């Protein structure tokens, strides 16, 4: 049983999470694994850095003067804070469009204060509050820049989505025709690939010299550097993605995906890491990723001890009065594998 | 792998839940199982019907003129609707106490309209909004009735909690000294027992003639009948507990527990059913329980087809625009066991 984390109440295991880990280098070697590293996985929002590459490649980012923070917001599952909403609106405005084009739907934002203020103002939730509004704004801007229909950018057949599919297939080195798709929580296509390929894609983004095409290599570099330059845009207050990239100061870029996915690219080692909790429950994801980093020696005795980041390591389970009544503990041992698993095309 | 439910995105399994099922009769026979029916489990709020038994046994319910709806609310994980808050306040008032004694802590209630109104009124969350406020009000009333300190009713050493432990050990036929405890989300003790014993307790409550003690038998009968007479108090609008008991009209009583537990007693067959999803994620729990009922032939072609109840069978996964993008599907086959597993003391 590939348990990755146990949830304790008192000293007793109350619930357990199974999971899968793949650690791959930029040459296509699977170095460490746990569970099934070949598990076919929808990386969900962990794909956002790849979905943002066409925003740069097409020239959209240049035309609409995207700052690092704008590109970082395109890669975000943000908390809906004022700074996130303002920046998403800014992208739409520079593209000459409005919020009504956003197809991401609505949900209560993570930022409680923003939600409270909305209710007090007698306003209703709108798509700009969606954690995906940055990504969608970038997609709309791209459609405008390319002279494509900005109203149907979310459909799989639209060139905006077709470009993303091509980027994923290329960087993750997986045949386009073998990538199964479905619809994400925000209405755009999601792509299913083996976990090893997802990790491999993050390794290549961490070592962009492995990407042959000059335009693509430059775009990858600009997007990942934007994430690390403006980590507060990728998540928000007390969010793992933000805390991770703040702590590692330009070394790592990381992104969470729904249904308990997390992906990291490490520029120092050139490793890509992808994890998936089998049951899709997000609560153990960050504790598991911090434990993977610890076992790989990435940031141990340094960035990994950062106060904000280490608050995600084996977090407390609190009761409704704020009393500590248990904990979530990552418990697994990565296995050394060292097998060549990917035919590198470039 | 004891998978009980798969979560589909499009036609593809995105995540999977493991789980355990025990179906036991009131004579102590394990009739059907899945996964590990002996799994040591905190039943959490599924224990509320048992925690309510002392409210009746001690004479508290009579002294403070509890109606069925009051006892049902003591068994509740309610949504914090006005009717729930009003009734919990009523119990406290008749016991001569106020909300400030509630030790359950606070959380955002499930009933969105109640929360919205609270913010609009400029008020803060208070413990009466907690899904456990009915149970805690019953515990305070019991302490008052018994002349015990009503301020420390939540502590394990308090007679209120000691009486509950004795009831659980007796009805579930498990040695008191072997029951491990921890602290629940609402601050009171929780009790760890094998899933088979939890199911057995519900079977005995469904067939109270198996309970030797006259006072206890009458209390069990009154509590379970109160739940079935006022199902809207146990949960609320669009809640499984409420929908289940409304559909089965006095045949079944059922209660959910945190970390994905569900327990049912069936008065028609005398069966007790207990399920636990291994990862503690609640989203598949009701689909799994409806599938257990279907395989046992309980309510098939009748109550199980009720519109509200069957909305919990293999529920849709929706995206943020309300579009159906997947489903949760219970997928397992109960195994016929038929082994005597419990030494019945009475």
Each of the 346 residues of chain A gets a pLDDT tens digit; together they read: 899 999 999 999 999 999 999 999 999 999 999 999 999 999 999 999 999 999 999 999 999 999 999 999 999 999 999 999 999 999 999 999 999 999 999 999 999 999 999 999 999 999 999 999 999 999 999 999 999 999 999 999 999 999 999 999 999 999 999 999 999 999 999 999 999 999 999 999 999 999 999 999 999 999 999 999 999 999 999 999 999 999 999 999 999 999 999 999 999 999 999 999 999 999 999 999 999 999 999 999 999 999 999 999 999 999 999 999 999 999 999 999 988 876 555 4
* pLDDT over 90 at B146, yes or no: yes
CA atoms lying within 13 Å on the CB side of residue A301? 2
Whether residue A325 and residue B116 make contact (CB cut-off 8 A), yes or no, is: no
pLDDT in tens, B309-320: 999 999 999 999
* pLDDT over 70 at B167, yes or no: yes
A282: chain B residues, CB-CB within 8 Å: none
For residue B337, count other CB atoms closer than 10 A to its CB.
17
Helices (H), chain A: 48-57, 60-63, 68-74, 82-94, 112-120, 133-146, 159-171, 195-206, 214-229, 231-234, 240-248, 285-296, 307-310
State the best of B8, B15, B329 to mutate against chain A, taking most chain A CBs within 10 Å: B15
3-state per-residue secondary structure call for B204-251: HHHCHHHCCCHHHHHHHHHHHHHHHHCHHHHCCCCCHHHHHHHHHCCC
Whether residue B7 and residue A42 make contact (CB cut-off 8 A), yes or no, is: no
Buried/exposed A107-145: b ≥16 CB within 10 Å, e otherwise = bebbbeebbeebbeeeeebebbbbbbbbbbbbbbbbbbb
Please indicate if any CB of chain A lies within 8 Å of the CB of B117. Answer: no
Q: What is the pLDDT of residue B143?
A: 98
| Nearest residue in chain B measured CA to CA from A132 | B320
Q: What is the pLDDT of residue B114?
A: 96
A184: chain B residues, CB-CB within 8 Å: 319, 325
* pLDDT over 60 at B306, yes or no: yes
Torsion of CA A243, A248, A250, A255, to 10 degrees: -50
B323: chain A residues, CB-CB within 8 Å: 183, 187
What is the residue-averaged pLDDT of chain B? 96
Domains of chain B with bracketed CATH: 3-66+156-340 (3.40.710)
Q: What is the pLDDT of residue A338?
A: 80
Whether residue B321 and residue A15 make contact (CB cut-off 8 A), yes or no, is: no
What is the mean pLDDT of the segment spanning B219-239?
A: 98
Please indicate if any CB of chain A lies within 8 Å of the CB of B106. Answer: yes
Q: What is the pLDDT of residue A340?
A: 83
Q: pLDDT tier at B346 (50, 70, 90 boundaries)?
A: very low
Residue B224 backbone class (left: φ over 0; alpha: ψ -120 to 50; beta: rest): alpha
Cα gap B54→B121, rounded to integer Å: 37
Q: What is the pLDDT of residue B338?
A: 80
Cα gap B269→A226, rounded to integer Å: 63
Q: What is the pLDDT of residue A343?
A: 57
pLDDT in tens, B88-105: 999 999 999 999 999 999
State the best of A119, A182, A191, A328 to mutate against chain B, taking most chain B CBs within 10 Å: A182
Whether residue B12 and residue A180 make contact (CB cut-off 8 A), yes or no, is: yes
State the best of B155, B185, B318 to mutate against chain A, taking most chain A CBs within 10 Å: B185
* pLDDT over 70 at B342, yes or no: no
Cα gap B278→A277, rounded to integer Å: 13
Buried/exposed B90-106: b ≥16 CB within 10 Å, e otherwise = bbbebbebebebbbbbb
For residue A189, count other CB atoms closer than 10 A to its CB.
22
Q: Is this prediction's pTM over 0.90?
A: yes
Whether residue A280 and residue B278 make contact (CB cut-off 8 A), yes or no, is: no
In degrees, rounded to 5, the angle at the alpha carbon of residue A12 between the alpha carbons of residues A10 and A17 is: 115
Whether residue B185 and residue A279 make contact (CB cut-off 8 A), yes or no, is: no
């Amino acid at each position: 049983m590939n348990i990755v984390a146990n949830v304790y109440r008192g000293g007793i295991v109350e619930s357990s999470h199974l999971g899968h880990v793949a650690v791959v280098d930029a040459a296509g070697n699977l170095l460490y694994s746990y569970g099934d590293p070949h598990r076919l996985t929808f990386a969900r929002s962990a794909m956002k850095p790849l979905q943002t590459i066409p925003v740069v490649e097409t020239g959209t980012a240049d035309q609409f003067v995207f700052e690092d923070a704008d590109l970082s917001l395109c890669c975000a599952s943000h908390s809906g804070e004022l700074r996130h909403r303002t920046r998403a609106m800014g992208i739409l405005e520079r593209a000459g469009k409005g919020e009504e084009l956003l197809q991401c739907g609505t949900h209560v934002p993570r930022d409680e204060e923003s939600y409270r203020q909305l209710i007090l103002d007698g306003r209703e939730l709108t798509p700009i509050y969606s954690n995906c509004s940055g990504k969608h704004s970038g997609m709309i801007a791209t459609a405008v820049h390319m002279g494509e229909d900005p109203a149907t950018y979310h459909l799989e057949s639209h060139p905006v989505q077709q470009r993303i599919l091509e980027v994923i297939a290329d960087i993750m080195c997986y045949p386009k025709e073998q990538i199964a798709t479905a619809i994400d929580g925000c209405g755009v296509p999601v792509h299913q690939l083996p976990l090893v390929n997802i990790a491999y894609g993050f390794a290549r983004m961490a070592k962009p010299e492995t990407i042959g095409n000059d335009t693509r290599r430059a775009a990858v570099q600009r997007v990942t550097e934007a994430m690390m330059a403006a980590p507060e845009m990728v998540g928000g207050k007390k969010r793992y993605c933000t805390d991770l990239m703040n702590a590692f100061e330009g070394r790592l870029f990381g992104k969470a995906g729904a249904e308990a996915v997390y992906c990291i690219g490490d520029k120092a080692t050139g490793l890509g890491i992808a994890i998936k909790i089998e049951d899709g429950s997000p609560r153990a994801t960050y504790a598991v990723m911090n434990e993977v980093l610890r076992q790989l020696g990435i940031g141990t005795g340094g960035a990994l001890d950062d106060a904000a980041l280490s608050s995600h390591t084996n977090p407390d389970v609190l009761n409704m009065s704020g009393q500590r009544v248990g904990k979530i503990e990552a418990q697994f041992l990565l296995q050394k594998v060292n097998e060549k698993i990917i035919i590198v095309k470039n």
